[in-house]
Amino acid sequence: SQQGEEDPQALSIQEGENATMNCSYKTSINNLQWYRQNSGRGLVHLILIRSNEREKHSGRLRVTLDTSKKSSSLLITASRAADTASYFCAQNTGTASKLTFGTGTRLQVTL
Amino acid sequence: ETGVTQSPTHLIKTRGQQVTLRCSSQSGHNTVSWYQQALGQGPQFIFQYYREEENGRGNFPPRFSGLQFPNYSSELNVNALELDDSALYLCASSLSPHGEQYFGPGTRLTVT
């Protein structure tokens, strides 16, 4: 079963705009990771944020984590058409490196 | 490219048959995790192998089984295939059980 949920389920923006996706989860985590997936292919790792971190940046990506609210957000600034994909948050919990994924946000960036 | 490869790319099987999917991990990675992704859903954790031993299992029946070899490549076996087993099967390798996971392109299995 999915532990987390992304919001919104779908997002359509124009190139150059910012895109914000939110993720909520249910149990304590070791870390939270964001992935991108193009057209049902493999997942590409974007960024990992540990449970004791509150914010992390990587290029045009900014991730925040609020463990008290069990939520995270992914901000993509100055979006490009190539950012069109599905974005998933995944929680790492337990002793194994098990990742629990949400249902994803489908981002469409138009010219 | 993550360096993780999976074979085959696509596969069509009949209900009741058995299937074996293969995954070659990235060089130096000793951990492989397998996920099932149904259409329109997020991936679901099947199990993880660390140094040839199962190191965690998700909510999948015993007919889903796996192996990890001394070179850390891995197989996922599914017996008595059901229609609901149709999905994209993803493997991911990592340097350790808690490390960043690098995913392969997946195997799309269709059960008819």
What's the pLDDT score for residue A30? 87
In this complex, which of A2, A94, A96 lies closest to B42 when CB atoms are compared? A2
The answer to whether the beta carbons of residues A58 and A46 sit under 8 Å apart is yes
- Partners of A40 on chain B (C-beta within 8 Å) are 37, 39, 88, 106, 108
Interchain CB contact of B97 with A (< 8 Å): yes
C-alpha distances in angstroms, B40 versus A14, A35, A84, A105, B45?
Answer: 24, 15, 16, 10, 16
Task: Give the number of other CB atoms < 10 A from CB of residue B49.
Answer: 29
B49, closest residue in chain A (CA to CA): A96
Show residues of chain A in contact with B59, CB under 8 Å: 1
Residue A14: pLDDT over 50: yes
CA B32/CA A99 separation, integer angstroms: 12
Residue B53 identity: E
User: Between residues 34 and 73 of chain A, which touch chain B (CB distance below 8 Å)?
Assistant: 35, 40-45, 48
Place of tokens 């194994």: A96
Over residues B28-85, the pLDDT tens digits come to 999 999 999 999 899 999 999 999 999 999 999 999 999 999 999 999 999 999 999 9
The structure tokens 């596969």 sit at B11
Place of tokens 């609020």: A66
A1/B31 Cβ within 8 A:
no
Contacts A32 to B, Cβ<8 Å: none
The more confident residue out of A98 and A50 is: A50
Q: How many angstroms separate the CA atoms of A104 and A91, rounded?
A: 13
Q: Does A24 contact B at CB distance below 8 Å?
A: no
The DSSP-derived string for B61-111 is: -TTEEEEE-TTS-EEEEE-S--GGG-EEEEEEEESSTTSPPEE---EEEEE
For residue B88, what is the nearest residue in chain A, using CA coordinates? A40
Average pLDDT for residues A5-15, to the nearest whole number? 93
**Per-residue model confidence (pLDDT) at position A39:** 82
Instruction: Assess whether pLDDT exceeds 90 at residue A40.
Output: no
**Residue of B33, B95, B101 for testing the chain A interface, max A β-carbons within 10 Å:** B101
Cα Rg, chain A, nearest whole Å: 13
- Which residue carries 């059960």 as its tokens? B111
Angle at A74 between CA B103 and CA B98, to 5 degrees: 40
Confidence of residue A1 (pLDDT cuts 50, 70, 90): very low
Mean pLDDT of A39-45: 84
Of A44, A48, A101, the CB nearest to B42: A101
